[in-house]
Structures are given as C-alpha cells and as structure tokens.
C-alpha cells in the first residue's frame, strides 16, 4: 500500500504513527504547531474526530480502506466486544507479527519481508502480509533467506525486551510462535478504536 509523505500525514493526524516520526524533531514540530492557532479540541466535529482516529489506525498498520472496513465489519458482527476483536485481528496479521517479533524495524519493512518470500508459516512460504496468525501458529525466516544481508548479525542486534507476551521468539533460530491472543492496551496505541467503530457505524 502506497502511503505518501509520512511526516506530513503524521503531522496532519497529530500523532507519530510512523517510526520515522517518533523523533524529537517531530515532537518539537508538534509543540510549535500547538502554539500557532490550532483549533481547540472542542471545536472539532464528531465526524472529523472519528475520521482522524480511523486514519491513525489505518496508517499504523498499513492497511487499505477496504481491508480495515472488512476487519471492522467482522469485529462488529462476531463479538460483543468488537474493540478487542478488531485490535486482535490487526495484531494477528503476519506482517505485524514479524514486526512485533523484532525481525523488522518497521511494519512496512515487515510487509516487504513477507511479500518477498522471506517468511514461512508452519514450514510453508507465505507471501500474504494479511495472513492471520492464530494462537499456535509458528513462523520463521526461510532457510534460503538467512544468509542475506538483511539478517546479518540479527541475533546480536535483536532486542528481546520489545517482543510482546503473546509471541515466543528465538532470535538465534530466527523462529517463533504465536502463543496467545493479543489484547487491546489503550496506553500502547496512538488511536481510539471506539471512535473508529463509531465512524463505520454511521
């Protein structure tokens, strides 16, 4: 999915939703913007607020409008707690699991890694970034890809502290398993899923 100028998008949405905007430069830019006549939050319409939160979610995970609408419809039709199901489904995407395991520094890089055939699931090469990784699913870097420069010194540079509790990952083996279902943690997200559901419920 082509995203566009990330700094401008993040600034427009008012959140560092891309890794390249999670910098001091972006924070200072936001602080300056806050002093130059931004409208007060109370003057923003409900629709505008919902649209902004929807865009934050969409760009965070790098999904298309069509994909996000499908995830929302699924969450609202299958659960009395659609927020948890929606966030879990986004987190269970193969590209996100690769990113969360620390195999890639960004979700965009993880998406390319999957698309280029570097990742296997249950021993089979999967090139679909949206592939759902349910609890019990195993994944690994494909044997033929391990000698590529992309994975040079991977085990030494890997940061295990960043891997969430629902993923078990062995940096030396470049392999892991989804051991649980991810849950929505408000403090760990840059968007409000409730506003996203409101947007699609209009």
- Assess whether pLDDT exceeds 70 at residue 171: yes
- Assess whether pLDDT exceeds 50 at residue 91: yes
Global pTM exceeds 0.85: no
As a residue count, the chain comes to 202
Looking at residue 37, what is its pLDDT? 42
Instruction: Say how many C-beta atoms besides its own lie within 10 A of residue 51's C-beta.
Output: 15
Q: Which token pair is 80?
A: 């009395």
pLDDT in tens, 116-150: 999 999 999 999 999 999 999 999 999 999 999 99
Looking at residue 38, what is its pLDDT? 46
Cα 79 to Cα 197: distance, rounded to the nearest angstrom:
13
Helix/strand/coil for 141 = strand
Distance from chain centroid for Cα 165: 16
Looking at residue 44, what is its pLDDT? 83
Q: Which of these CATH numbers, 3.30.470.10, 3.40.50.300, 3.65.10.10, 3.10.290.10, describes 96-178?
A: 3.10.290.10
Chain mean pLDDT for the chain: 87
Looking at residue 105, what is its pLDDT? 93
Domain boundaries, the chain: 6-89, 96-178
């Amino acid at each position: 999915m082509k995203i566009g100028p990330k700094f401008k998008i993040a600034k427009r949405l008012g959140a560092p939703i891309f890794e390249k905007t999670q910098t001091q430069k972006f924070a200072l830019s936001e602080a300056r913007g806050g002093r130059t006549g931004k409208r007060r939050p109370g003057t923003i319409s409900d629709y505008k607020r919902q649209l902004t939160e929807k865009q934050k979610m969409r760009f965070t995970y790098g999904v298309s409008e069509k994909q996000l609408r499908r995830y929302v419809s699924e969450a609202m039709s299958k659960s009395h707690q659609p927020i948890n199901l929606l966030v879990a489904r986004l987190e269970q995407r193969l590209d996100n699991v690769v990113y969360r395991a620390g195999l890639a520094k960004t979700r965009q890089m993880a998406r390319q890694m999957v698309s280029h055939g570097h990742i296997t699931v249950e021993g089979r090469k999967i090139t679909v970034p949206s592939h759902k990784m349910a609890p019990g699913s195993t994944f690994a870097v494909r044997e033929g890809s391990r000698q590529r420069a992309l994975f040079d010194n991977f085990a030494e540079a890997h940061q295990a502290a960043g891997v969430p509790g629902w993923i078990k990952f062995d940096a030396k083996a470049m392999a892991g398993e989804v051991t649980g279902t991810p849950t929505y943690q408000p403090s760990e997200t840059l968007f409000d899923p409730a506003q996203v559901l409101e947007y699609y419920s209009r």
